[in-house]
């Protein structure tokens, strides 16, 4: 008797086996392939070695750091098959005398030729310095260096979401357009229509170009924190990961005009220690998981930095701001400005044997209005900066001021009355932080210049593409 369920089950199994043997990406070939199976791959030729009867091509499609060696009989070679060309190859999987998986080509199709002499900037078997690669933003994903960084970045993003998902945090998409300047530093990009016809059609009495569209001045976000606090006070633990913008006149190796910020807000957060433990757990999780998934990429980026850092097995150090200043005085690392500059931050990391260190209990006048005052000293706030190798500050966070009257006295603008009102109805204690994704990549991969941590960096006087 014909059984519909049995037929569907057998059909699905057959379909799955067929898909598995197709191997749409090289990473799947390297992970799952069996010798003697037919396979087809698409990608770019990274290296080409011509011998008497055979041609050896190393092909990579971006799915992993490894390349697949293709054995091509000379009769299948065409003039268009060169270094940098894109190819579609069908053949049978075999093992080389050294035990390496390779594909013996039966059909070779060049999808896109690459004539190096026409101006292609990268040479085979050459390690180009990041400064040179940066001149070719549109092509630099073809290099091992940048492609490895982007795979690590992708994995970090996945691990971030996995971490919060395991703890039942709600992922909130905070707005990119906002009427708030969360940090209060005025380093914002203003948003207004570029079309004069739209401005004329929408213009009203009392409005100008800055306010005609939204009704108030509008900016690109510098932080999603205030919006997270609003959701946190109704739904509990929340986080967001998205682009943020700073109109700083800074062109250093540590600054960007557009970057990605991971921000989280913890409901019922009663102490800075609770917040510190959460941040430390997050960072160690990301480091450990990324080293499991991207060991080859991390080695390609920086061989000297490919081993797990020793501090993964240790508790992060904690210093108060005053203790940090005393240490810096003894080390004679002096700062004429308020706060900590980059040299001082890295000196404190060095003092802690190259491990991340929390700096806590900051002077109130150095931090933002929303930070909770210390109960035993109203000149200090329950704030933290986490300092890390290479970058210095990598995380900034605090307990939030939950006293209505105290927050009201510090509110910088009536436009934030909605933020004050959050403390009026069913208020809870919260704490939160922001972590720069690009600086995290710098620390993990040993990348000295932040412009190499994302595909299309933006900084003052540069917004190409």
CA distance 80 to 104: 19
Per-residue confidence of the chain (465 residues) as pLDDT tens digits? 455 555 455 544 544 444 345 567 999 999 888 899 999 999 999 999 999 889 999 999 999 999 999 999 999 988 899 999 999 999 999 998 888 999 999 999 999 999 988 999 999 888 899 999 999 999 999 999 999 999 999 999 999 999 999 999 999 999 999 988 665 556 899 999 999 999 999 999 888 888 999 988 999 999 999 999 999 999 999 999 999 999 988 878 888 999 999 999 999 999 999 999 999 999 999 999 999 999 999 999 988 777 889 899 999 999 999 999 999 999 998 876 788 999 999 999 999 999 999 999 999 999 999 999 999 999 999 999 999 999 999 999 999 999 999 999 999 988 899 999 999 999 999 999 999 999 999 999 999 999 999 999 999 998 988
Write the CB contacts of 157 (distance below 8 Å, at least 6 apart in sequence): 241, 437
CA distance 297 to 283: 19
Residue bearing tokens 């049995």: 6
- The pLDDT, as a whole number, for residue 16 is 45
Across 113-269, the runs of DSSP E, i.e. the strands, are 170-171, 177-178, 190-191, 218-220, 238-245, 258-267
Tell me if the domain spanning 142-187+222-452 has CATH number 3.30.930.10: yes
- The pLDDT, as a whole number, for residue 376 is 95
- The pLDDT, as a whole number, for residue 127 is 87
- The pLDDT, as a whole number, for residue 167 is 97
End-to-end CA distance of the chain: 64
CATH 2.40.50.140 residue window(s) in the chain: 20-120
- The pLDDT, as a whole number, for residue 1 is 47
- What is the DSSP annotation of 123-181? -TT----HHHHTT-TTTGGGSHHHHHHHHHHHHHHHHHHHHHHHTTPEE----SEES--
Q: Which two tokens stand for residue 30?
A: 């390297």
CATH 3.30.930.10 residue window(s) in the chain: 142-187+222-452
CATH number of 20-120: 2.40.50.140
Task: Sort strands 238-245 and 170-171 into parallel, antiparallel or unpaired.
Answer: parallel
Residue bearing tokens 């055979």: 54
Mapped onto helix, strand or coil, the DSSP state of residue 207 is coil
CB of 41 closer than 8 Å to CB of 29: yes
Burial class (CB in 10 A: 0-12, 13-18, 19+), 324: buried
Q: For residue 342, give the H/E element and its range.
A: helix 342-351
């Amino acid at each position: 008797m014909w059984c519909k369920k049995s037929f569907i089950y057998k059909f699905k199994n057959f379909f799955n086996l067929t898909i598995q043997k197709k191997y749409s990406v090289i990473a799947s070939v390297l992970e799952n392939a069996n010798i003697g199976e037919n396979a087809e791959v698409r990608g770019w030729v990274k290296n080409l070695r011509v011998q008497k009867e055979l041609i050896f091509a190393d092909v990579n499609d971006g799915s992993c750091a490894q390349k697949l060696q293709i054995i091509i009989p000379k009769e299948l070679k065409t003039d268009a098959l060169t270094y940098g060309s894109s190819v579609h190859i069908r053949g049978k999987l075999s093992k080389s005398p050294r035990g390496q998986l390779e594909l013996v080509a039966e059909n070779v199709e060049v999808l896109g030729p690459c004539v190096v002499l026409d101006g292609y900037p990268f040479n085979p078997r050459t390690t180009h310095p990041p400064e040179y690669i940066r001149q070719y933003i549109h092509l630099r994903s073809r290099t091992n260096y940048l492609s490895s960084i982007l795979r690590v970045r992708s994995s970090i993003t996945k691990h971030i979401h996995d971490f919060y998902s395991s703890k039942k945090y709600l992922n909130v998409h905070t707005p990119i357009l906002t009427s708030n300047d969360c940090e209060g530093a005025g380093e914002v990009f203003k948003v207004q229509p570029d079309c004069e016809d739209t401005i004329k059609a929408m213009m009203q009495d009392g409005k100008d170009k800055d306010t005609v569209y939204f009704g108030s001045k509008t900016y690109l976000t510098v932080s999603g924190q205030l919006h997270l606090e609003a959701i946190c006070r109704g739904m509990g633990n929340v986080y967001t990961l998205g682009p943020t913008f700073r109109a700083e006149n800074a062109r250093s190796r540590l600054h960007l005009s557009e970057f990605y910020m991971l921000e989280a807000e913890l409901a019922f957060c009663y102490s800075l220690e609770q917040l510190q433990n959460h941040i430390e757990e997050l960072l160690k999780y990301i480091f450990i998981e990324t080293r499991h998934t991207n060991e080859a990429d991390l080695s390609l980026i920086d061989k000297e930095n490919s081993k797990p850092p020793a501090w993964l097995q240790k508790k992060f150090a904690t210093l108060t701001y005053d203790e940090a200043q005393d240490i810096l005085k003894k080390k004679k690392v002096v700062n004429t400005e308020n706060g900590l500059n980059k040299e001082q931050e890295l000196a404190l990391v060095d003092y802690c044997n190259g491990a991340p260190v929390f700096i806590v209990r900051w002077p109130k006048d150095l931090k933002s209005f929303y930070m909770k005052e210390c109960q035993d000293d109203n000149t200090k706030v329950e704030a933290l900066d986490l300092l890390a190798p290479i970058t210095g500050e990598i995380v900034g966070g605090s307990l939030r001021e939950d006293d209505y009257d105290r927050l009201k006295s510090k509110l910088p603008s009536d436009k934030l009355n909605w933020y004050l009102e959050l403390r009026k109805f069913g208020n809870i204690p919260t704490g939160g932080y922001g972590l720069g994704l690009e600086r995290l990549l710098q620390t993990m991969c040993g990348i000295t210049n932040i412009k190499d941590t994302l595909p299309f960096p933006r900084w003052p006087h540069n917004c190409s593409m």
